[in-house]
Amino acid sequence: MKTLKTVERRVTEILREHPDARNDDMRLYLLVSESCIYEPHGIGTVTFADVMTNYKAFGIPCFESIRRARQKIQAKCPELGCSPEVRRARHRMEHVYSEYAKD
């Protein structure tokens, strides 16, 4: 539970500081990963392969935890929400995925 609160706090900070991350989960994943690597470890550059193979050592939460935290935060704090266009696209994709899950 403590880890999830830490993820939520970090994601909230990023959503406040980087409005572009509100619309793009990949941008959000990048910014969360950078904050886990650069701040505590002081590492300047890391390859994608390093991130993906050493995410636990760097303390990077899994992408699904970041996405769920973003979703919860945006539900509680509409001012940190995505643009109307992105909201509509996400809503459409919910339907697509629910149909896919039924197959």
Taken in order 48, 49, 52, 56, the sign of the CA dihedral is: negative
- Give pLDDT tens digits along the chain (103 positions): 457 788 999 999 999 999 999 999 999 999 999 888 887 667 767 888 988 999 999 899 999 999 999 999 999 999 999 999 998 988 888 888 888 888 7
Question: Residue 31: CB partners within 8 Å, gap ≥ 6?
Answer: 14, 18, 21
Residue 48 exposure: Cα atoms within 13 Å on the Cβ side: 3
The predicted structure's pLDDT at residue 45: 78
Give the number of residues written for the chain. Answer: 103
User: Can you tell me the distance from the alpha carbon of 37 to that of 35, in angstroms, rounded to the nearest whole number?
Assistant: 6
pTM beyond 0.95: no
The amino acid at 64:
E
